[in-house]
Structure formats: structure tokens, C-alpha cells
Amino acid sequence: MTIANDLIQPDRGQDATPIHLVTKDGFESLAKSLSGPQRASLAGQKFCGDAGAVGIVPDGEGWFAIAGVSDADELASWCLANAADKLPAGTYRLQDAAPGAAMHGWQLAQYTFDRYRENDDAEGPRILLTSEAGKIDRASAIAQAEALVRDLVNTPAEDMGPAALEAQAQNMAKQFNAELKVTRGDALQTGFPMIHAVGRAAARHHAPRLIELIWGDADAPRIAIVGKGVCFDSGGLDIKSSAGMALMKKDMGGAAHALALAKLIMGAGLKVQLHCLVPAVENAVAGNAFRPGDVLQSRKGLTVEIGNTDAEGRLVLGDALTLASEQGAELIIDFATLTGAARVALGPDLPALFTREDRTADDLIAGGKASGDEVWRLPMPAAYGEYLKSSIADTNNAQGNPFAGASVAAIFLDKFVGDGIEWAHFDTFAWRPAPQSGRSKGGAALGLRAAFQMLNTRYG
């Protein structure tokens, strides 16, 4: 699993295979500088400078590589991922360029998830040298954080239940000397009744819990990172189809993002007091499962009629957001694999972003563009709050129509965030349904780098 730590190394003049970058428009000029046999070799490989293409060129007794990019002057996150994937194991150096943002894709192209089988195709690392030694630590930390999200999401639910998320948080607490607080099982009933209700039907070894990490200077601005940790979602008594359940190991993708972002914040030493909260549950089917039509109490004091037991993620987040607000956070960011509606609107690659304030959205959108992890803001029209009206409780947890599902879910969450608190909600997919350059099929970090870029700009 995961990726090696030293795939990017300082360039101290080590022996390395050169990589020449070329755009499609510039390929003809480059080809003129090559010998006839070299041009013939590239023709045999059908290399013509397309972005992402990789060619190997014989050069005396050795060889060098050519990588096609869209822009040779400003390299993007994933532009060298194919090169890192296709080139043989060894050490490489870009000619006439620094890798910059492309360090990210170079590392993650070498990610593997081999917990359950041997990786027979492993060749050894492809190391990239760079003169930008000062950027290596941060680039490596961000790549490791994204790999952590992939690892957690890719792991099946039996091995990535609430206890496993707690163990991950415990390891991070030890690494960064953070405080860990965990409220488990029936102890949730008094303080976190919605988390308890959603998770109470699970087997004992998957008992629900609220995991909290607290780190940093108590006098620094307090920020809260909240992640939906539904480790498996059967849909509850409103049970999903078998096809609908097939990917539900990934329903803790919000928790994976929250833990990875917390690790980045602590590793970078941002000047904040961090409160990371993960409500971790399994939405199971049993005789004590919560039911459609039940009315749940919440930590906030609002009563919630259950219109759909498959709209459970917003329930566990509601209690966690209330606690984060009570503890005095000036900024709360939550991540959740919350709605299929967000995917219908934006597809698998763009996380939906909801904020109370324009400046929050502007900062996160700018962070996404700067880091190559773009996000897209969707609205929270106050009028859509009507869709959550209940005749017997303060609110329903689900709407009775098919309209604007992602926005309505965000409106529900907003009820549990304290007044005057800056808040951002990411409705992220946390999954890549088909492989792309440097991005294997499976767990995916979407919105993670955007959020860290924004936080680093504010508090770094």
C-alpha cells in the first residue's frame, strides 16, 4: 500500500536519465535535432508529442526519455504521471525545467494498493531529481496525504470499520502529540443521539463512536475539520439495492479526507488549534435499527423526523457539527460522500462546495486552482429549506422530491452549524470509477489539496 517517501530527491549531480519535455506543437522542431535512427525509434513508438505520451530515444550506448506535456513552461499536477508509470525503474532528471507541481503526479502514479494480494508488477521506484529542494517536503507530505485517503477508502468495510478509523486517529495523535478523545457505543446516547441512532444496529466490533483529535496552541485560531465516517452504508431499513451497496465501503471517504487534512495541518505546523471530528458508524440492518418515521433528538436540540434511513450521513454530521460549534471554532470545514445528486450535477471529478460566505468559497476555489484540485460551488437557496419541513418535528432529514438534493442536504447541515461561524461543506465522491493518468481506479482525494492550500495561505 501507499507510496515511497523518497520518490522526489534533491539534485546533487547524481547519475540520472534525462527527460526532455515537448509539446505537440514543438515536437517537429525537436525531431529535427534528432538523428534518423532516433526519429525512427519514436515513429515506431507512435510518439508525436501528445500530452501524456512517453517515448524512449536511443543515444549511443544509453537512452533518454521524451515526455509530451500541454505546457512545457508551467507543469500541471498530473503531466508527468504517465512518465512515472511507464518508464523503467531508475533515477531521472528533467532537462531545462523544474518539476514544480508535477512532483505530485510523479509520486502518486507509483501508488499501489496491495494489502490483499502481491504486486507482481512492481519494478522498483522511479526517482525524480529536482533543484527545488525546498519544495520536496511539502510535495511529499501532500502526496502521502492523498495516498492515505486512497488507502483508507480502498480498504473493505470489515477491515475499515469505526475501530479502524479510531486506530488511525490514535496513530496520528501519537505522531503529533495530539489529544485523542473517543465516545463509544451507548455513551453516545446522551450527548450525540443521532450518531448513536445511526450506528446502534451494527455488530459490537463495529460499534459507533465519535473520534476527536485536538492539537495546537490553545490561543491560536480554532478550526474544526469534520468528516463523515459511515464505514459501510446498507441504507438501513430503507435498504439499498445490491448495485447501490457495491461501493459503500467508500462512504467513510469524508472521514478519510478529514484525517488526511488534519495530518497535513499538524505536519505543516499551521498556527491554529485544530479540532478534527469523525463520527464513525456502520449503517446496518437489525432489529434495533432506526426506522423511517422515527423522530430523533439531536445534540443541537432540534428534533429530526426520519424520512429516509439512507440519508444517515447528514445525521451523524449534525451532532459533530454542533460540538465543533460549541467548542468555539471560527472556521469549520466538513467533508462527506453525502449525495448522489452532487455526482449527477458535477460528475465524479469535481467536489461540490457549499459555503455561507462568498469569501470562503473564493478562497477555496482559489486554493483548488493553485493546487490543481479544482472544486465547484453550488448554491444553498433558502427557499429549498421548505423541502425539509416536517409536520411532527423541527425538520425532516430527507426531502420528498427529486430536486436539488445536494443543496438540500447542505441546507440540513447548516442548521447544526453555530451562528456567525464560517463554514464550508464538501460533498465529495472520494472515488475514481476509471483510471486516469496517475490516478488509479478506487479511492480518490477530491478537495483535499484545495482545502489545505486555503488553510496554508491563511494560517501558514
Out of 24, 240, 377, 458, the active site residue is 240
Report the C-alpha gap between 375 and 366 in whole angstroms.
Answer: 9
Phi, psi of 114 (to 5 degrees): -125, 30
Burial 306-332 (b: 16+ CB within 10 A, else e): bbbbbbbbbbbbbbbbbbbbeeebebb
364 burial (CB, 10 Å; 0-12 / 13-18 / 19+) is buried
Distance CA 65, CA 348 (A): 33
- The values of phi and psi at residue 277, to 5°, are -125, 130
Handedness of CA 163, 164, 169, 173 (dihedral sign): positive
* Chain center to CA of 422: 21
Residue that is written with C-alpha cell 430523533 in the block: 296
Which residues on neighbouring strands pair with residue 182, listed in sequence order?
A: 211
Catalytically annotated residue among 300, 314, 415, 449: 314
Distance CA 296, CA 301 (A): 10
Please, what's the b/e burial string for 154-172 (b: 16 or more CB within 10 A of its CB; e: otherwise)? Answer: bbebeebbbbbbbebbeeb
Residue 217: all three cell numbers together: 496552541
Measured at the CA of 32, the angle between CA 28 and CA 35, to 5 degrees, comes to 130
Distance CA 224, CA 321 (A): 9
Amino acid at 253: G
Would residue 126 show up in a list of annotated catalytic residues for this protein?
Answer: no
Active site residues: 240, 314
